[in-house]
Structure 1
């Protein structure tokens, strides 16, 4: 049975970043079931301008399709609130090329990458054992599960996967006669699902349109938005998947198995995006796993848990914001967005100074705006209770 220090299952951004971090201290093997890294691609691709610093990798200019300088928020009644930072505040990347770039970096840093599908992860005789297709088994000092939102391996290993809470999502890339490349659009309200819908411009003629909802078919919502805003559109790429907006799982490590990325619930609860949040947490996990594999010092894993606490708190605060939005009626959202519209200059200043990834610092403004719409106190209390006791 081949033996290694760290074995990583899953070749998305979280798995690759975990592998690179672990490779600083130990030998690393990564298993990816798809022959091409980054495929299939399920991502809006909107990142902060400093994502490379947070992830510890260089995002080359060839991976960036566009930069945006603001957002247009659409209320349920059709009121539009444009917030223009006046300068670039986020970037749009090509996700499939980004994953392939990370895979190349991982190999350069000494990781061994294999195209094999993992069938199970379990602990046996003091080791983490990954069973792969074709009857191949790999033994390691520690395993990192970055399999994604399906969490099939995690559930079999004893984790509470909560996978039924995932939200179905769809995205279509369209070509049309004209797209404003400077603004992404956010659509709120029951018509657009229990999370939101969005458009992200790639250039002056191409945009990504996406939606995540349990209430209806998200692909139909995408089609509705395309017909309304891009009347002459032509679909060129479509995809379906599921996003996680339920916050971090309470248990992400059992013995010598660590969950990272979507498998651990490490996504941004307000959008379901997982590149930056999952990547930061994966780097902590990979570093700890590599140190543990080389020393067998349990304190290294305890340090990982401690280092993760600030990010866990961030995700919980954003989970509160998401639940407030999901619990708000169309009437409440209309009034809230209109109230925010009377404070455009403040919002512009906030957008310029706010970290696009860590936007939980706008939560006080959101709470104030929603409070002004006279949300029933019992509803607000219920949302708060469900946030911290799910």
Structure 2
């Protein structure tokens, strides 16, 4: 799973999230400038935690199944087609017809392009690996053209059965090269040994929404819509928030037997309380 896994602590109460996915708490972060200067910031209370993203996703899937969702694993959507009566979603082995389709496919944009919803305004490249460490340090955030052009690099402590560190970069291009440089710089400090398992996982990160986040009988959420934290590319909180807003909108639209684009557009002005919460949350350390 390619995810830094840092989430604001109060999001667990806001969305009733599974707290057994929390690995450790975070209180201190060090910001490293290109000049070599370092600024340390510590909070009196726990404002962020590190999660096991795989366990987090499993728990949410289990809750969805208990609520009546039917889950199909190992299927890849190849087409989404809107007709007068609904939406047909096609995979290599089957097709399903529904009244509405919610695209929550992460940073993958083939379907959005097909439906002419556009692309995110900016795509950056990232690379990350979780590696064994000899000790747990504080969160580190590194800036500068040498470290990560147009982005930043990070090191996040992870407490499992032993200490680990998630090392990653987000930059304009060549994320693998900048990852290697970041690893070389901080490995001695964290006690990370250079081995074959140091190969990072790479992915693209959207910064900025797609042109249209809804269409006739289609709603797009989270990374799939480019709805992420603009300063870090963090997507967990904003995927939950956009899903919550979409749920409110679709519940009303389906109750009126109307799932057209005009109904989906209502989500732009829906729930001002949640929208203001999102604005304040943008200052919290979610990744």
Normalising by the residue count of structure 1, what TM-score does the alignment of the two structures yield? 0.65
Q: Does 1:52 align with 2:12?
A: yes
1:309 CA drift (Å) = 7.2
Of residues 109, 112, 116, the one that matches 1:154 is 112
Q: What residue in structure 1 maps to residue 187 of structure 2? A: 230
Aligned residues: 273
Q: Kindly name which structure, 1 or 2, has the bigger radius of gyration based on alpha carbons.
A: 1
| 1:176-201, Cα deviation, whole Å (9 max, x unpaired) | 22232xx2111011112211111100
| 1:255-313, Cα deviation, whole Å (9 max, x unpaired) | 11111111111111111110101210111112322332343146753432212778778
Distance 1:187 1:308, change over 3 A: farther
Q: What residue in structure 2 maps to residue 90 of structure 1? A: 48
Q: What residue in structure 1 maps to residue 230 of structure 2? A: 269
| 1:150-188, Cα deviation, whole Å (9 max, x unpaired) | 21111111211248x3211000112222232xx211101
Matched-pair contact (CA < 8 Å) for 2:120–2:225: no
Inter-partner Cα distance in structure 2 for 1:125 and 1:206: 52
> In structure 2, the residue corresponding to 1:139 is in which secondary structure?
strand
Inter-partner Cα distance in structure 2 for 1:297 and 1:206: 49
Q: What residue in structure 2 maps to residue 200 of structure 1? A: 156
Inter-partner Cα distance in structure 1 for 2:216 and 2:133: 52
> In structure 1, the residue corresponding to 2:35 is in which secondary structure?
coil
Equivalent residue runs for 1:241-320 within 5 Å? 241-245=203-207, 247-297=208-258, 301-307=264-270
Matched-pair contact (CA < 8 Å) for 1:70–1:86: no
Q: What residue in structure 1 maps to residue 143 of structure 2? A: 188
Inter-partner Cα distance in structure 2 for 1:310 and 1:158: 31
Inter-partner Cα distance in structure 1 for 2:115 and 2:272: 24
Distance 1:150 1:312, change over 3 A: farther
Cα RMSD between the aligned structures? 2.4
Which segments of 5 or more consecutive residues in structure 2 lack a partner in the other structure?
A: none
Inter-partner Cα distance in structure 1 for 2:89 and 2:133: 47
1:130 CA drift (Å) = 1.1
